[in-house]
């Protein structure tokens, strides 16, 4: 998931912020843990056929990760904006 270069409403340059792939790793781990817990619970409680697990958990993982990634990256960008964090750009003028 990639941001646009600038905000259409206010013109804020998103290139100044380094959101990176950090939210993707945490989101994948969190959703993965949730799905594993739910799948184990379902298996122990009901013992459904294997295809039921595929039909339930595969869309949940894909949609949860892709949908949550947009929210997580947006939240991180908002956090960086409010903390006035920017990507460091070294121009070489302050070398000692």
Alpha helices in the chain (DSSP H): 22-46, 50-82
Local confidence band at 92 (pLDDT 50, 70, 90 cut-offs)? low
pLDDT band of residue 61 (cuts 50, 70, 90) is very high
- For the chain, which residues make up each domain, given as ranges? 19-82
What is the chain's Cα-based Rg? 20
pLDDT tens column, 27-52: 889 999 999 999 999 999 999 999 99
What's the pLDDT score for residue 9?
79
């Amino acid at each position: 998931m990639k941001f646009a270069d600038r905000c259409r409403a206010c013109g804020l340059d998103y290139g100044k912020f380094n959101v990176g792939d950090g939210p993707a790793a945490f989101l994948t781990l969190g959703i993965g843990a949730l799905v594993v817990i739910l799948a184990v619970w379902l298996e122990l409680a009901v013992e459904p056929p294997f295809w039921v697990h595929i039909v339930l958990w595969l869309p949940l993982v894909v949609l949860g990760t892709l949908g949550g990634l947009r929210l997580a990256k947006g939240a991180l960008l908002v956090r960086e904006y409010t903390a006035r964090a920017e990507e460091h750009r070294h121009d070489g003028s302050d070398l000692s």
